[in-house]
Amino acid sequence: MKLLLIRHGETAGNLEKRYIGRTDEPLCKEGIAQLSAMRYPACELLFCSPMLRCIQTAGILFRDQKPCICDDFRECDFGDFEGRNYTELQSDPRYQKWIDSGGTLPFPNGESPAQFRQRCTNAFLGIMQQCSHAASAALIVHGGTIMSILSGYAVPQRSYFDWQTENGHGWLCEYDHKIITILEKL
């Protein structure tokens, strides 16, 4: 199966380098303009996160398709770090502790990275089982969701942070229901 993994377009929070997880931000005008100029291969099935930025991205990139919403593809809950950026967090000892952990500690009053990754990979496997008959599928999701899926199933194996993807970009892959082979960075 051909598989497209696409990160949503830019939001105001993305431009300001903020942790935007549970905040349901729309695309900003720069994000809409960027996506309007992009072309992705057609797909048979379209899935996306329930967050507005993903739904808007799907509507721009795949105008004639209605996405199937997958709640567990939503971004990580950054807890007390939500809506803040590095500059605003650098004096917070909890943030420094999280950084020192290599990003493995749970976000204060939020989700743990391990739980988030498990949620995303479970959702991915569930959807892929349901559409095993399809020739192609696209997932319009978040950067963390893509990183979770690829760090779990892509070959060659890379760490979670090695799969960072820019807004509006993604990966064209082949998925054989066991592993993901990267064909092209988009």
Q: Which structural domain, as residue segments, surrounds residue 15?
A: 2-185
Report which of 68, 69, 61 is spatially closest to residue 45, judged by C-alpha positions.
68
pLDDT tens profile 155-167 = 989 999 999 999 9
Task: Report the alpha-carbon distance of residue 6 to residue 4 in Å, rounded.
Answer: 6
Looking at residue 130, its pLDDT comes to: 87
- Identify the DSSP state of 79: G
> How many domains are contained in the chain?
1
Give ∠ CA 74-90-161 in degrees, rounded to 5.
45
Cβ contact 43:136 at 8 Å: yes
pTM: 0.96
Looking at residue 166, its pLDDT comes to: 97
Provide CB contacts within 8 A for 76, sequence distance 6+: 21, 107, 110, 111, 113, 116, 142, 144
Q: State the CATH number of the domain containing residue 128.
A: 3.40.50.1240
Provide CB contacts within 8 A for 91, sequence distance 6+: none
Q: Where are the alpha helices (DSSP H) in the chain?
A: 12-15, 29-36, 52-61, 86-89, 93-100, 113-130, 143-153
**Successive 10-residue mean pLDDT values, the chain, 186 residues:** 98 97 97 96 97 98 96 97 96 96 94 96 96 94 98 95 97 96 96
Looking at residue 132, its pLDDT comes to: 84
Kindly compute the dihedral angle of the four CA atoms of residues 48, 51, 55, 60, in this order, to the nearest 10 degrees.
-110
pLDDT tens profile 36-59 = 999 999 999 999 999 999 999 999
Cβ contact 137:3 at 8 Å: yes
